[in-house]
Amino acid sequence: MKQISKRMAAGTLVLTTAVVGAVVGGGAGTAAAAQPVAAPRQDAGPYDNVESGSTYGIGMIVSLNFRKAVKNRAAVDKGISFDTSDGSKVKGHWFGGNRVDFRPENFWKPGTKVTVHYRLKNVEVAPGIYGGVDSDQTFTIGRDQRTTVDATADTMKVARNGRTVSTVPITAGKAGFDSWNGIMVIEEKDEHVEMKSPDGAGKGDQYDLKDVPHAMRLTDTGTFVHGNSWATDAMGHYNASHGCIGVADTRYGNENSNAGKFFHSSLIGDPVTVVRSKGAKVAPDNGLSGWNLAWSKW
C-alpha cells in the first residue's frame, strides 16, 4: 500500500490510499499460476480544514470529514488528540456519520499553539474500512478579532484585542432572504468569486455576478461577507442583499475600500456575529458555526 497526499484547496489536506500492484508470473514459456489476491484495504477518505503552520482566528474550529461513513465513532474519538500550549481542553462533536468538529469551550486565546494528532491509519471506522492517516498538524491562533454585524442598524463593528477599530455601514439580507443570526466563522477567503442565484429563483431575484471582490465565506449554504459596489446607497439604511453582508467596494475591489480593509485584516477562523436580523439562528453544522451549540451539548 502507498499513501498519497494531495491538496484539494487551500488549507485542506486529503488523504487517500492507492493499491500498488505486484506482477506474479512463471518462467519463460510457462503459465503464470493463479494467486489469491487479498481484497484491497479501504480507507474512509479523511480530510480536514487545517493547513499545518498556518495562523487562524480565535473562532477556528477543526472540521474532520470522511468520504465513507463512520460507524465506530468512539474508536475515531480515541484516535484523535490535541495538545495546546495554554492547556485548553478540546472536545469533538459529531454531525452525522461523516463529520466531527473540534473546539474548546470558549474562543481560543491569542498566541495559543495547537497540535492535532491523528492516529487513525489502523483504526477500523466501519467494517473493512480504516481511518487511513497517521499525522500531526500544528497551527497558531493569531490576534483577537471579533466582528459584529447589526442587521437592524446596518452596521459592522470590528474589535481587535478588545478595542473597536472600525464601524462601517453595511447592507444585510432583505425580507425573504434575511441573514442568519448567530456566531459564524470565516472559513474561506477569496479575492474574487462568482455568485449565481439558485435554480428556480423568482423574477427580480435572479443574478449572476462575476468577480465579486473580497469575498469571505461564513456558511456552507452561501453566506459571505463581500465587497459590494451595486447597493452602496442601501448601506447604513436598509437591507438589500440575498442574505450576504455587503460592504462598500469598487467593481473589481479596492484594497482601501471598507471591504478591502476588512478582507486584509481578517483571518480564516475569525468570528463574525450577526445580531438583530429577522432571520433564524444559524445551524451549528452550517459552516464552522458550532459556537452556537452550548458546551453541555457539544
pLDDT tens-digit series, residues 175-193 = 999 999 999 999 999 999 8
What is the average pLDDT score of the chain? Answer: 88
Q: How far apart are CA 99 and CA 155, in angstroms?
A: 34
Q: What is the pLDDT of residue 193?
A: 87
- Whether the pLDDT of residue 212 is over 80: the answer is yes
Residue scoring higher pLDDT (211 or 149): 149
Q: What is the pLDDT of residue 53?
A: 98
Q: What is the pLDDT of residue 34?
A: 58
Do 119 and 196 lie in one domain? The reply is: no
Residues 6+ apart with CB under 8 A from 18: 1, 2, 3, 4
Under DSSP, the state recorded for 256 is T
Residues 6+ apart with CB under 8 A from 99: 63, 64, 65, 66, 285
- Whether the pLDDT of residue 14 is over 80: the answer is no
Q: Which residue range(s) make up the domain with 112?
A: 2-19+39-141
Do 126 and 160 lie in one domain? The reply is: no
Do 104 and 161 lie in one domain? The reply is: no
Q: What is the pLDDT of residue 184?
A: 99
* Band (298; pLDDT cuts 50, 70, 90): very high
Is 34 part of a structural domain of the chain? Answer: no
The β-bridge relationship of strands 224-228 and 245-248 is: parallel
Cell reading at 244: 450576504
Which is it for the CA torsion 65, 98, 106, 280, positive or negative? positive
Is 29 part of a structural domain of the chain? Answer: no
Do 252 and 160 lie in one domain? The reply is: yes
Residue scoring higher pLDDT (4 or 107): 107
Under DSSP, the state recorded for 244 is S
Contact indicator for 91, 215 with CB cutoff of 8 Å = no
Q: How far apart are CA 74 and CA 155, in angstroms?
A: 44
Q: What is the pLDDT of residue 8?
A: 34
Q: What is the pLDDT of residue 41?
A: 81
Is 167 part of a structural domain of the chain? Answer: yes
* Band (208; pLDDT cuts 50, 70, 90): low
* Tally of domains within the chain: 2
Do 64 and 169 lie in one domain? The reply is: no
pLDDT tens sequence across 36-56: 656 678 999 999 999 999 999
- Whether the pLDDT of residue 162 is over 90: the answer is yes
Q: Read off the pLDDT of each residue in 88-97 and give the average, rounded to a whole number.
A: 98
* Band (146; pLDDT cuts 50, 70, 90): very high
Do 180 and 266 lie in one domain? The reply is: yes
* Band (5; pLDDT cuts 50, 70, 90): very low
245-247-252 Cα angle (round to 5): 115
Is 293 part of a structural domain of the chain? Answer: yes
Q: What is the pLDDT of residue 210?
A: 77
* CATH code for the domain of 231: 2.40.440.10
pLDDT tens sequence across 228-276: 999 999 999 999 999 999 999 999 999 999 999 999 999 999 999 999 9
Of the chain, the percentage scoring pLDDT greater than 70 comes to 83
* Band (206; pLDDT cuts 50, 70, 90): low
Domain boundary (110, 141, 172) is at 141
Range scoring the smallest mean pLDDT among 21-30, 110-119, 142-151, 202-211: 21-30
- Whether the pLDDT of residue 157 is over 60: the answer is yes
Q: Read off the pLDDT of each residue in 200-217 and give the average, rounded to a whole number.
A: 76
pTM across the whole model: 0.85
Residue scoring higher pLDDT (244 or 21): 244
Q: What is the pLDDT of residue 205?
A: 62
- Whether the pLDDT of residue 32 is over 60: the answer is no
